[in-house]
Amino acid sequence: MPETLDAHDLALLRRSLRVAEASRGAGRHPFGSLVVAADGTVLAEAGNDSLPPDGDPTRHAELVAVATAFRAAGGPDGMVGSTLYTSAEPCAMCSGAAYWTGIDRVVYALSEHRLLELTGDHPENPTFSLPCREVFARGQRRILVSGPHLEDEAAAAHEGFWV
């Protein structure tokens, strides 16, 4: 069972859910992420931009957000103490991007397991059965992970999308 989040964390996580809903509203996959610096400044916010046929399959919301935040923070020193809030558990690719850009903490809503229940075998969302905690556990530095949280709220953006 994940730990309880404080009101600030919950507000930021819900903001990632609103970004996911906006992404869906724009005709893209319903995922959203934001990166917050140690001082509380939102460094980046991104929806998913990987929808075929024109999207880039590497432009998941988390990857775009952490790359943008890294540049906004001026590099690794500016990322110390940063948190990635995301509407769904980061995949292996996005976990790697979070690791390499210096994210210190990940807070996510929808688990990979629950996401798979919603997407099934949809060709636009092939998934790994590889929790982000396992990816991070293989790294040389520690990344704190908190989730899943608000899974029912996060699932709402996916309902009826993957049909």
Which residues does the annotation mark as catalytic?
62
Q: In angstroms, how far apart are the furthest CA atoms of the chain?
A: 43
Give the burial string for 63-87 (b: 16+ CB within 10 Å, else e). bbbbbbbbeebeeeebbeebbbbbb
Q: Is 6 left (phi over 0), alpha (psi -120 to 50) or beta?
A: beta
What is the C-alpha to C-alpha distance for residues 25 and 14, in angstroms, rounded to an integer?
16
- Decide if 33 contacts 16 (C-beta within 8 A): yes
Q: Which two tokens stand for residue 20?
A: 């996911």
What is the C-alpha to C-alpha distance for residues 125 and 158, in angstroms, rounded to an integer?
12
